Amino acid sequence: MTDSAAVEIERLSFGYDSGRPVLHDISLAMPRGKVIGIMGQSGCGKTTLLRIIGGARQPDSGTARVLGTLVNGLDGDALYALRRKMGMLFQFGALFTDMSVYDNVAFPLREHTDLPDELIRDLVLMKLEAVGLRGASRLTPAELSGGMARRVALARAIALDPQLILYDEPFTALDPISFAIIARLIRRLNDALGATSVIVSHDVKECLDIVDYMVFMTAGRIVAEGAPEAMRGSSEPFVSQFVHGQSDGPIPFHYPAPAYGDDLAVGAAHG
């Protein structure tokens, strides 16, 4: 693995138990210290790739190296040690509903360290201050707005000062103000921690504004990658359609069906 890559995927393929292939011979290097966006339509394999990076799934073939560690075949203890270096922001936050904001952020510190309560308190308040929610430490998730809950989840994801942070659709269902706040926080916190962030998202504009490197996927394959400026001006048909929201292109608007006139004729014949 090259020193400049936080994640290196080589000739990786994967399919679920149904036998349906999801990822096809993917090779990809994610540079350290950068914010990387992975984009593509629903079902193209983005989240599956994120799960393999996090060790939740094992590739059928090929390799995945994360922070210098080969993820293939890791036992429970080794995987646990690797995840100690990683943070994860799940879609919709996935906060523990029966815990306060404070306890949600404290959870990974209590789970992965032997730090005294006084030091854990200082660290929790520091992370909540970073996302602007120190004053909400005693609230429960039920008392938070969607944007606030996502910010608490972000504070929890960075509680251990991870080297690698994974974001699964971090902007879903957020209002425009919360959307912009979360996007800025991802960029700012990544730079402050000196971490590498990998964002899976459908939200083209905000991602292109904050990422350093962009990867586009379709049907389980990588079709383009590069700097945001290059992706904005890409002539690759899929990328151009996705970035500019065009209805015409490789991604069809209509689900496959017989010719419209033929369907009408069949209906008339049965009428």
pLDDT tens-digit readout, 112-151 = 889 999 999 999 999 999 998 999 999 999 999 888 898 9
Mean pLDDT of all residues in the chain?
A: 86
Residue 162, Cβ density class (10 Å: 0-12 exposed, 13-18 middle, ≥19 buried)? buried
- The predicted structure's pLDDT at residue 138: 95
- The predicted structure's pLDDT at residue 1: 46
Both tokens of residue 195?
């971490």
Distance CA 269, CA 271 (A): 5
Q: Which CATH number fits domain 5-85+162-235: 3.20.20.220, 3.40.50.300, 3.20.20.100, 3.90.1300.10?
A: 3.40.50.300
Q: Under 8 Å CB-to-CB from 223, ≥6 apart: which residues?
A: 216, 217, 236, 238, 239
- The predicted structure's pLDDT at residue 119: 95
Residues of the chain with pLDDT under 70: 1-3, 18-19, 92-93, 244-256, 266-271
pTM of the model: 0.83
- From the centroid of its chain, how far is CA 188? 17
Q: Which of 44, 49, 50 has its CA nearest to residue 250?
A: 44
Q: How far apart, in Å, do the first and last CA atoms of the chain sit? A: 66
Q: Is 73 left (phi over 0), alpha (psi -120 to 50) or beta?
A: left
